[in-house]
Structure 1
Amino acid sequence: MEQAAMAMGDVSKKASTRNLAVERKNLLTVCRFSVKTLLEKYTAEPIDDSSEEFVNFAAILEHILSHRFKGSSSWFDGQRSYWDYIRLACAKIPNSCISSIESMENISTSRAKGRAWMRVALMEKRLSEYIATALRDSRTTKRFYAEGAIMLREEATVLTGMLIGLGAIDFSFCLKGEALDGKSPAVIDYTPYLKFTQSYDYLSDDDDQQSVDSSASDDSVPEHPYIPLVTDEESWSTKCRKMEQRFKIVNAQKGYLEELVRLRESQLKNTETENKRLKARLEELQTQSQQEKRELEAIVLELQEQLTSLIPCDSNHLAKNLSIPLINQWPTLEPFDSQEDVKLFRRFATGSMATLSHCCNYFCSCNNRYVAEPNNIPVCA
């Protein structure tokens, strides 16, 4: 029974791991398709909430940011969303929109503030920067997301790369109305991507249907229902539409690459500035260490002069023999041995009194002073 239970547990764990992997793959795939669709549909006019492609993209991104989100840890925190994570992880970004969104009066719920932040970041063309900065704060990310979340995986860096291309699109939103209603959930529409192909040489629905009908009448089946074969009878208007569509795609890709180059140049500039700052700091520390070394040498010389003045001998001769010792070259002091010192003291204390008397007579005769004390112990006065 125990082995069967363990086997069932392993199967359940593998199934859970697979489900999380499939969820991440699905969300990132539809996000990539959604970004491509926005780049294809973009014209000179800014994109707003009336665009169905943007509404779907916003729903996909909200699902990605909410994937495996831990939510509120206690009743006091209330209903939390990915906005609480963005608010903390991106608080140090200079000139960010975090504080302005936090102080908006017409938006009260956390989910609504997250949707407002998403739109403002797109208008600022900094959505990728916000998410990349939040991902660098790994401690806060682990605090808000459970294991297996997209934001904790390497796929999150792929997400930031996708969002860089949106900097080539102009967005215009009104931060009021039903679009920012935090009560309604975001629903993803997968149907536009079920017919998605990697080739862009497809025609409109009407031309596609005509081509399919004509090919069916000739008992010929095209290779793909959405990529009809090009024939010599194709009209010039169709060719112009295809060329225009190709031009829009290439133009969008050009804008994406330019935005990517600008981002890399900005990162390189920041790195060079940081490198210069570190070099200046290193030079400052080296100068400070040299100054401290000179001060310590001056202190050693001063102490040497004081030492020579305290010793009653020829200072010039001592100065010649004394030299500034290097570090760790001072003589080491022997440890104090109390028993040996006591024995030495007793040996000298029990010595001959005559020797002591002789010494006292010698020193006192130098000063012509001699005093006899009781017990025949001479004392110098």
Structure 2
Amino acid sequence: MAALSLSRKKNSSRNAGVERKNLITVCRFSVKTLIDRSCFETIDDSAPEFLNFASILEQILSHRLKGQLTWFGYESPRSFWDYIRVACSKVPHSCICSIENMENVSSSRAKGRAWIRVALMEKRLSEYITAALRDYKTTRRFYDDGAIVLGEEANMLAGMLLGLNAIDFSFCLKGEGLDGSFPAVIDYTPYLKFTQSSESISSDEEELRTLGSSGSESSTPENIGPPFIMDENSWYNKCKRVEQKYRLALEQKGYLEELVRLREVQLSDSVSKNKLLLQRIKDLDVNHKLEKEQLEYIIVELQDQLKSFQSLGHLSADASLSQISFDPGQSQDENGKHDGSHLSEGKEATPSLLGLCGSLTSVASYKSLASLKSSECLASPTTEMTSPGLTPS
């Protein structure tokens, strides 16, 4: 059991070493491709070389990063921004405070990605990394043993990032690249090189053929003896070469399968998001149609109400006119009021004057004047002359 645990530890340490070496090598390749791309055009968020470099740097800074212990003893995940924020706090004129106060960036991973972009635009990424690595206590507090930032590769990282100061970057800090919900995926395909020529293929086939023939010959009893001992080293070397090539092909196969799996996951996420967006568009279309129908119904109802109000206005105007023309008492009272206001200045309002004023406005007032004459309320000259007991002067 002890030997098994020791072998497992050796295998894990060897795998960690291989992982560190691969990340540093890929980072060097990505820096070179960025420099080559900058000779022809400006590097922005849409450049695949930059996206790959940002993913590689995020993987390096997140390599064997410790989690944060809570009050209950559980370890919650942590982003590399927590380390950069503390380790680079003493850098003069740093962008740490401005990134920490950004409104459109909320998650810790998104702030770390924004810091990478701002540091590249300031041409100070190597300076930030060097200052963070010098704070060994903070680095030791945030990372486990075997991390890249704790090994010899860290000095190489700061040196290779120094070449990025010659590039003019232009980034937008409001794009989709700052979304902290998406993991950093490294695309190794630009750095893979398949240079297997026909000669190597023929040599592999020859080696396999010789191995098969030697195996078939060694199975016969007459070939057992000194020739087998003499060719043992050559056979062992051939087997080792074939095994190495087989392992290399197996690793490439595993990488391609992992890449296909990641692309399938991304495709399924995109398909699900597309379905949600299509359903949302349908719902919005249905709501728009309903609102349009409701507005059309309201407009028709308001038009009907306006027509009814107009007809009621015409009817009320006609009724008022008919009431004025066919209500002699009201007209007489109104005219009596107006005339009385004029007569009250110096004359006494007598029944004869009221009757006279009424005769000017309506036929009913004329009739009232005639009734007054008949009732001898008015004095006429003919009656005075013909009355008995009076002599003409």
**Which one has a bigger Cα radius of gyration?**
2
| TM-score, length basis structure 2 | 0.48
Q: TM-score, normalised by structure 1?
A: 0.49
Greater helix proportion: 2
